[in-house]
Amino acid sequence: MRFAFAALAASHGVATGIVLLATSVGSATAAATLDPSGVVALLDVMDAIAALHPDFGTRMAVLEGASESVRAAACSEARARNESNALVRDRLDALFETSTYRLYFRRFHNVTAELVREILLDLPYRTRPSPGGIAETYQHLLSERRMLRAWVDELVKTIDLEVVEAKALRWVPAGAPPIPTVHLIYDSNAGSFTADGKPFFNLYSERSQAEHPDESTGENFTAYAEGVMAHEIQHALAKPILYPKGAKSLRSWQERWADRLVRGLVSEGVAAHCNPPAGIRARIWEDAEVLQSLVQGLNDILHAMRSGSADEADVERWYQDNFQATAHELLRRFLARDYSGDELQSRLQRYASIRPDSEHVLGWWMVSRVSRNGTDREAALQLLRDPGSLLSRYNLALGERETALRVADDLAGWVEETVR
């Protein structure tokens, strides 16, 4: 699905000739900054490649009906032209020298600088198999690069960094370290994330929120983006508290996994108070059947860990499935109440980025219960200092009619004893 850059630019009254800011941008009083240099460098590569193939749009349409041998010859000729061009080579080197991409490659090992280089040199006619369909994403971006420049330039100017900073700081204790720079990136391999203590706002992964604002958030995109940026900044600021150096050494794999699971729930649950779910995300994430399924899954895996009926590989598979197969199936079941056939498939694709995985959904649900829907700030902050207490405190916060959403008390107690 292509990002509707033209509609976004038009909605802001943006001319496509605006020059994208190439340096970090901050406000007069906010310590936070935005760094679009990674996006700038990617678009600079795109510009250099497009200049070598001025008729690529027309020719791509012709090649769709050509023979395999004709398409292969066009791909080879384009590749050779790109590889031999000094400007393309220089701009590729500049892309990988940005701090944005150096951090990105340290965070995501399934994508390397070498792979990205190969994908870009294949443009405009060839797309090789790639994580998250990066090759197809870049091929679309080649045609839409001017729209992206204009839109990002406008976004950088309209984001209120003081608002972003205030949202993030509300959910960390006083005395937080300096606010980190928010890196902008355009990537179909990941969502917005934090790497090495640096927050990343992913323009590509948030695209559905821009295309369907009423269904997704009920907010305009600027307000939505400020919340996501604050969420990732909160992760960066809270990490030294939630993952302190010199913490207790965990002896068994069961202890390590209990620690990993509960800290992940607290991490996502507290950060989600910077951008609480709204619109369809709230309806999915707070759906009784979704929550019951996720709580039962957590009960089952904690019991299997403690009893020894599962080994570490079983827990690893369960954890990965929570983000993929299990989350996808829960989303499908939720949407199937109202849609079927092609419309169901379309909705599954549209809402894939907000599918209900255990870490994000249960983290949000549990921390919101403990913090009384965010009104008890100190209760949420205390979980950063004492994450092992999450499940016990969550059970205490549940209402009398919410017994189906309880974590087994003995398992909650075991986690509290284990995670210190």
In this structure, is residue 79 part of a structural domain? yes
Domain edge (last residue) among 158, 192, 216: 216
* Band of pLDDT at residue 21, cut at 50, 70 and 90: low
What local confidence, expressed as pLDDT, does residue 388 receive? 96
Tokens of 223: 């307000």
Does residue 14 surpass a pLDDT of 50?
no
What local confidence, expressed as pLDDT, does residue 12 receive? 44
In this structure, is residue 397 part of a structural domain? yes
Q: Could you tell me if 209 and 258 lie in one domain? A: no
Task: Please give the average per-residue pLDDT across 129-148, as a whole number.
Answer: 94
CA 279/CA 157 separation, integer angstroms: 26
Q: Which residue has the higher pLDDT, 17 or 26?
A: 26
What local confidence, expressed as pLDDT, does residue 13 receive? 45
* Band of pLDDT at residue 191, cut at 50, 70 and 90: confident
Does residue 104 surpass a pLDDT of 70?
yes
Q: Could you tell me if 181 and 105 lie in one domain? A: yes
Q: Could you tell me if 62 and 153 lie in one domain? A: yes
Q: Could you tell me if 262 and 201 lie in one domain? A: no
Task: Please give the average per-residue pLDDT across 263-283, as a whole number.
Answer: 95
Over residues 241-257, the pLDDT tens digits come to 999 886 666 689 999 99
pTM of the model: 0.89
| Alpha-carbon dihedral sign for residues 142, 146, 147, 148 | positive
If one counts the domains in the chain, the total is 2
* Band of pLDDT at residue 132, cut at 50, 70 and 90: confident
Domain edge (last residue) among 194, 216, 238: 216
Question: Which three-class secondary structure state does DSSP give residue 98?
Answer: coil
In this structure, is residue 84 part of a structural domain? yes
Q: Could you tell me if 308 and 399 lie in one domain? A: yes
Q: Could you tell me if 136 and 266 lie in one domain? A: no
What local confidence, expressed as pLDDT, does residue 32 receive? 82
Domain that holds residue 259: 250-418
* Band of pLDDT at residue 213, cut at 50, 70 and 90: low
Does residue 156 surpass a pLDDT of 50?
yes
Q: Could you tell me if 212 and 254 lie in one domain? A: no
In this structure, is residue 238 part of a structural domain? no
In this structure, is residue 1 part of a structural domain? no
What local confidence, expressed as pLDDT, does residue 246 receive? 67
Task: Please give the average per-residue pLDDT across 331-352, as a whole number.
Answer: 93
* Band of pLDDT at residue 16, cut at 50, 70 and 90: very low
Q: Could you tell me if 389 and 284 lie in one domain? A: yes
Lowest mean pLDDT among 40-49, 248-257, 378-387: 248-257
In this structure, is residue 88 part of a structural domain? yes
Lowest mean pLDDT among 85-99, 151-165, 208-222, 330-344: 208-222
Task: Please give the average per-residue pLDDT across 112-134, as a whole number.
Answer: 95
Task: Please give the average per-residue pLDDT across 211-217, as a whole number.
Answer: 55
What local confidence, expressed as pLDDT, does residue 28 receive? 59
According to DSSP, the β-strands at 198-202 and 182-185 are: parallel
Which helix (H) or strand (E) segment holds residue 295: the answer is: helix 288-307
* Band of pLDDT at residue 177, cut at 50, 70 and 90: confident
Does residue 97 surpass a pLDDT of 70?
yes
Among all chains, which residue has been given the structure tokens 């509300």? 170
In this structure, is residue 211 part of a structural domain? yes
- Rg, Å, the chain Cα set: 23
Q: Could you tell me if 290 and 212 lie in one domain? A: no
Q: Could you tell me if 181 and 327 lie in one domain? A: no
What DSSP string runs through 336-369?
Answer: TTT--HHHHHHHHHHTGGG---HHHHHHHHHHHH
| Alpha-carbon dihedral sign for residues 322, 324, 327, 329 | negative
What local confidence, expressed as pLDDT, does residue 420 receive? 80
In this structure, is residue 228 part of a structural domain? no
Q: Which residue has the higher pLDDT, 344 or 400?
A: 344
What local confidence, expressed as pLDDT, does residue 11 receive? 46
Lowest mean pLDDT among 108-122, 254-268, 289-303, 339-353: 339-353
Does residue 412 surpass a pLDDT of 50?
yes
